[in-house]
Amino acid sequence: MKNGEKLSESSPISEKTNRVKKRNMGAQITMNLIHGFGFSAFNIAFALFLNDITGSLFSTGIIITISNIMQFLPMPFIGKLSDKYGIKKVWLFGPPIFVFGLIILIFSNSIPILIVGVLIYVLGAMVNSLNFQLFVSENSGGSKKGIMYGLTFFAYFGGSIGGTSFVILNL
């Protein structure tokens, strides 16, 4: 580095970009691990919670089926919002929607309110995972995309296994 030259001017742009991309991918893998752990642990407790409120295994199955279908239905709508307002703004509104759905679930005392809470909860979860593949594609090198996809998906499923084990073992 020459005298008077800033640190940001001393290294090539591609080197800085690669460091940022590696840091982004590390953060994504870590968040997938945490998200898988938490979501998996919640889903087990969620089914028992629904069964206690509804008192019917059939109603519990219907509500869980609706929530699973809801994971895929809002994606085009979320994509349009992302195109209109930008992906970062949509991502920022994901966690509040998620928390709002959980609050409705906690205070629900009837099945219609419970279903609304489930739908809002799942919508918030899907907004959080919006354009995950695009993020991985943008932040990994051209020759490493398969490895990066594998690591990020493995982190989610590894977290899911950990979360399920956590609940089953009553830890």
Residue count of the chain, please give it: 171
Asked whether the beta carbons of 124 and 92 are under 8 A apart, the reply is no
CATH number of 36-168: 1.20.1250.20
Expressed in angstroms, the distance from the first to the final Cα of the chain is: 53
**pLDDT over 70 at 46, yes or no:** yes
Asked whether the beta carbons of 131 and 82 are under 8 A apart, the reply is yes
Q: What proportion of the chain, given as a percentage, has pLDDT over 90?
A: 0
Phi-psi sector, 110: left (phi>0), alpha (psi -120 to 50), beta: beta
Asked whether the beta carbons of 120 and 70 are under 8 A apart, the reply is no
Highest mean pLDDT among 16-20, 35-39, 74-78, 103-107: 103-107
Side-chain half-sphere exposure of 7, counting CA atoms within 13 A = 1
Please compute the mean of the pLDDT values over residues 30-53 and round it to a whole number. Answer: 77
What is the per-residue pLDDT for 11?
53
- The DSSP 8-state label assigned to residue 131 in this structure reads T
Asked whether the beta carbons of 1 and 126 are under 8 A apart, the reply is no
**pLDDT over 70 at 132, yes or no:** no
What is the per-residue pLDDT for 131?
53
Task: Answer with the residue of higher pLDDT: 19 or 52.
Answer: 52
